[in-house]
Amino acid sequence: MIIRPITDRDLETLFQIATESGPGFTSLTPDRDVLSRKIAHSMDSFERLVIKPGDEHYLFVLEDEATGEIMGTTGIEANAGHTRPLYHFRRNTVTRHSRHLDLRRSVETLTRCSHYTGYSEICSLYLRPEFRRPHAGKLLSRVRFLFMALHPERFSDNVIAEMRGVSDASGQSPFWNWLKAHFVDMDFDRATHLVGTGYTDFIDELMPSHPLYTCLMSQEARAVLGQVHNLTRPALRILETEGFEHKGLIDLFDAGPT
């Protein structure tokens, strides 16, 4: 197995990976034009002389040296939020207290925020099912940290990872289904596809800007707050062993942890 920067000859395989990964994997959307631009951007990023992180995006592939097949992808965004807003929901607890009535109630809220703007983000980790063998996933994950250690001037001192939240094979997200019913009348796969193509204006235009009380959400939506997709659990365990911690921020669309 070898890790190398992606090249334009990998476009068709990258499209297959984007298709296989399914809805919710916004860093790789199954659109050849978008993926072609992503590859070109990555190739340009590797070639740049960088003294501080900008809009660079580095995409790597894992290749089976014996067959030349692409086994998976992994990537790093140097400066998240540099070219478009980076939004999350922040989980907070609000406590109300009446001393006169001796009543107290604590409720959880979700508030849209952009706390992680400017952080570097590790992303695009996907290992194709037929190549899920011992240590391949760890190699895909950890090569990013090695690259950042070799080129610290290209990255922030702070690093985040957005973990894919809960959705099913048909593209249904319990959290998004609740948001769709009350705020954004758009299917989950369309919303995540738009984000994957770089269009995020609808977030400011349609998504709630005031705090949401989770006690008013459906039980199904509350149950997936901060939870990861089953296919994402191995990646989460690897990051936790590297010292990553969840600080209460979740994804706007599937409520996966950041």
- Domain positions in the chain are 2-250
Calpha distance 121→175 (Å, rounded): 23
pTM for this structure?
Answer: 0.87
Q: Token pair of 85, please? A: 């807003």
Annotation marks residue 229 as catalytic: yes
What's the pLDDT score for residue 61? 93
CA 44 to chain CA centroid, Å, is: 22
Looking at 60-64, 68-72, 83-87, 159-163, which range is the least confident one?
Answer: 83-87
Contacts of 113 (CB under 8 A, 6+ apart): 87, 88, 89, 90, 249
- Model confidence at 189: pLDDT above 90: no
pLDDT digits (tens, 9 = 90+) for 151-174: 999 999 999 999 888 888 777 899
Residue among 45, 46, 56, 51 at smallest CA distance from 78: 56
3-state DSSP assignment of residue 51: coil
The catalytic residue among 41, 100, 229, 246 is: 229
What's the pLDDT score for residue 73? 92
Q: Is 111 exposed, middle or buried (0-12, 13-18, 19+ CB in 10 A)?
A: middle
What's the pLDDT score for residue 55? 92
> Are residues 41 and 75 in contact, defined by beta-carbon separation less than 8 angstroms?
no
The pair phi, psi for residue 73, each rounded to 5°, is: -135, 160
Look up the CATH architecture of domain 2-250.
3-Layer(aba) Sandwich (3.40)
